[in-house]
Amino acid sequence: MKIYTKTGDIGETSLFGGRRVLKSELRIESYGAVDELNSWIGLVRDVTTNTSTRELLKEIQDRLFTLGAVLASDPDKQSSGVPDLHEEDIEHLEKAIDAMDLQLEPLRNFILPGGHVHVSYCHLARTVCRRAERLVVALNQVEEVHPLVIKYLNRLSDYLFTLSRMMARDLGAEEVNWLPRKSKD
């Protein structure tokens, strides 16, 4: 099978189920953002040395692939419409967040992304996750999206933020607080 089919040369693609749609449609933007997020998570996983974090990131990538497949499916032809995503997947993220929070200083200010290239990768993944979430929420206004999809993306961005803080701590990188500039008035 060739990697190129030429069927998208006029700006259309097929959803799982066969329906042809424009590549600019919100559904395509949504699963494209999830695909981009999955790539960023892969980069974060590649630079992480913590074995349990690497394993969880791989699991997250698997969930994102499932999520993308659900979003890439023709909603009129989905048998159940329920992704292979479970409340336990969200609870797993919450437990990981809570475990990291126990090791981190309480957050008292907004922090600026950065401090170390690995931390920055994690912040980039977080911001792409937020964009994917916004696009899926917008899609949900047009066509119903299973609530677990939105909930998972929301919790995943929280996990990535907390992971960025944990990475900064482990790498000895400074967390730079955002200090708003005082008005000259």
Helices (H), the chain: 26-47, 51-71, 87-101, 117-142, 147-171
Kindly report the pTM of this predicted structure.
Answer: 0.87
Predicted confidence at residue 55, as pLDDT, reads 98
Question: Which residues, 6+ apart, have CB-to-CB distance to 11 below 8 Å?
Answer: 22, 23, 24
Task: Taking the CA atoms of 141, 151, 63 and 112 in sequence, report the sign of the dihedral they define.
Answer: positive
Distance (Å, rounded) from C-alpha 72 to C-alpha 29?
10
Blockwise average pLDDT, block size 10, the chain, 185 residues: 64 61 73 95 96 97 91 67 81 98 93 94 98 97 92 98 97 89 81
Mutual angle of helices 26-47 and 51-71, in 10-degree steps: 170
- Report CA 181 to chain centroid distance, whole Å: 31
In 3D space, the residue among 99, 110, 129, 105 whose CA is nearest the CA of residue 36 turns out to be: 129
8 A C-beta contact, residue 126 and residue 161? yes
- Token pair 């659900």 is found at 70
